[in-house]
Structure 1
């Protein structure tokens, strides 16, 4: 018998002062058996950072041709493709061809830095690609907030992120490794 996904529910209250976006979202997230709690929380963080009424969780680990999250228009065209982790360069190349914008939110330490060292020159040619990094202490602080049913508040201002729950809070900052040209 196959191991089933674990269902997590997250009520998000997002105040993104940098983008002028203020909204509440209710997410039901299936955590694949091979997915860690850390990766789950980074996916939720990616949602908070790019929240929009059209942003949804996609197939991710269980579907080869879908990202962790995406934003699609009424015709089904992909406006924003968001990957979490250390995606293969071929997946990113394909995403850059399909979507107006592509974001990779990578996390951890040594593996992410090695991945970036191996891929940064190749990825630099993609003009619609953003690559951000969340360091290990930030990941640990975020993972400490995980629960099967969560109420998360996120305040984003001047590049700083504060995520709070009844369990505590995590102060986070991303390192921007690559951004589209201005």
Structure 2
């Protein structure tokens, strides 16, 4: 029974750390976690547990560990002096399995400070009317982009490209792709 309660409290602590550090929930404080999860534990002992778990989570997040890596990492943590127990290892592994994707997205979003492309739609239209007869029945690519940050309203950009301009854009994209491929090739 004590192990189940300890696992439940540790799971709550890990979730609380994630809420406060990665999900932006300012209501989750260290004091709240201690009061709710470890009321009988002296402050210095709670601080030690909290800091140890925070350090482990930081290591896991910064390495963006997959399931094999986390297993190896936690095994090493159980074997080192002053490390974690096997039960704690299981709780941490379960926590990471459930939160990896959301924490990863949060870290990526927190590291962005410029506008990003939030959405892209495109279509090909054929002109049925035009001021110039030679433009009737010509194809045009319509590209709509949603650009913004998570804190501000998005801006929308609509671009119309005729066949010549579209070919130029495709050529430039091909050059960028080739340049990236050349940079990423291993020798």
Flag whether TM exceeds 0.5 (same fold). no
More contact order relative to length (CA 8 Å, sep ≥ 6) = 1
- Write 1 or 2 for the structure with the bigger share of helix: 2
TM-score scaled by structure 1? Answer: 0.23
- Write 1 or 2 for the structure with the bigger share of strand: 1
TM-score scaled by structure 2? Answer: 0.23
